[in-house]
Chains A and B, each alone.
Chain A
Amino acid sequence: MSGTDVEVAFADVAAGVRAAIAAHAQAQDDGRTDDLVELYCSDGAVDVPQIGLIEGHAALREAFGGWGPTVPQRHMVSNILITAWNEREATSISDVVFSQKGEGGWAVQVVARYHDQFRNEAGTWRLSRRSMQFVT
């Protein structure tokens, strides 16, 4: 693989990872649980502090279905850093600021860091694992 090929591959991976992260945030904030679950591999998992590992589509659907928005909310994900990658797998670290709209207006509720693992499934980058780390 030439140097140019490597660069092109990285841009493809970065675009796929960024698209998955954005789609996750938007599906979650819209309450579109089925769309959100489809962003995970069939054996994909989420690790949430004080809750633990939620693994597989059925468990993810149940969990995210229970966390659906009750007021307007936004997961604003930024600083997406690809930490390792090849044609089949990638990892990234990103920051998220979670805000909700209450009676007093918009307020930051949670700030966290996502540690994500992705697999390339037939050209679509899906989450194989997302670990959340709250900033306290």
Chain B
Amino acid sequence: MSGQASATAGIQQAIAAYAQALDDGRTDDVIATFCEDGAAEFPGSGRIEGHAALRATYSQLVPRAPQRHVLVNTRITTCDDDHATAVSDLVLFGRGEAGWSIGLVGRYDDTLRCVNGAWLFQSRTLTFVE
């Protein structure tokens, strides 16, 4: 397979690992998907940069009810040996008293860097689809 296929597989790993760790409330595992100087940005949050700041933010996002970040339509938009950008769509399902429902729909714009063979988020920007 090509280098592009290899990068795609690695990027899909990062995206899946992030979603599962976030839904499981495993904050340290969420942080581990980011580069040391990685950053995240959510609607209204401003830029959150570096592991310490990310940990402080994500520790506040531990789910209080069952939820699933379903990531689909991942498209690798640019890619070389060590850097890539990707765009994915998000549907967040949550479970309330009435059962499962869609909580929000959004899009992730990601930049990633390959560090010691693992693709990690350099930045992850979430926008909501209003």
Using a CB–CB cutoff of 8 Å, the interface residues on chain A facing chain B are 3, 6-8, 10-12, 14-15, 76, 78-82, 93-95, 97, 107-108, 111, 135-136
| A79-B20 contact given A11-B6, A15-B1, CB 8 Å threshold | yes
In Å, the complex CA distance between A111 and B94 comes to: 10
In Å, the complex CA distance between A95 and B9 comes to: 17
Contact assessment for B19 and A111 in the assembled complex, using a CB-CB cutoff below 8 Å: no
Contact assessment for B17 and A108 in the assembled complex, using a CB-CB cutoff below 8 Å: no
Q: Which residue of A lies closest to B14 (CB)?
A: A81
Q: How far is the CB of A125 from chain B (nearest CB, A)?
A: 14
Interface range, B side: 20 to 34
Contact assessment for A95 and B19 in the assembled complex, using a CB-CB cutoff below 8 Å: yes
Q: Which residue of A lies closest to B1 (CB)?
A: A11
Extra 20 A-B pairs, beta carbons < 8 Å, given A11-B9, A79-B16: A8-B6, A10-B9, A10-B10, A11-B5, A14-B9, A15-B1, A15-B9, A76-B72, A78-B71, A79-B19, A79-B70, A79-B71, A81-B17, A82-B13, A93-B20, A94-B16, A95-B70, A108-B93, A136-B66, A136-B95
Q: How far is the CB of A112 from chain B (nearest CB, A)?
A: 10
Number of contacts between A and B (CB, 8 Å)?
71
Q: Does B101 contact A (CB under 8 A)?
A: yes
Using a CB–CB cutoff of 8 Å, the interface residues on chain B facing chain A are 1, 3, 5-6, 8-10, 12-13, 15-17, 19-20, 23, 66, 68-72, 93, 95, 99-101, 117
Q: Which residue of A lies closest to B5 (CB)?
A: A11
B8 contacts across to A, CB distance below 8 A: 11
Q: How far is the CB of A83 from chain B (nearest CB, A)?
A: 9
B71 contacts across to A, CB distance below 8 A: 78-79
Q: Which residue of B lies closest to A110 (CB)?
A: B100
Q: How far is the CB of A133 from chain B (nearest CB, A)?
A: 11
In Å, the complex CA distance between A3 and B81 comes to: 13
In Å, the complex CA distance between A12 and B13 comes to: 14
In Å, the complex CA distance between A14 and B5 comes to: 10
B17 contacts across to A, CB distance below 8 A: 81
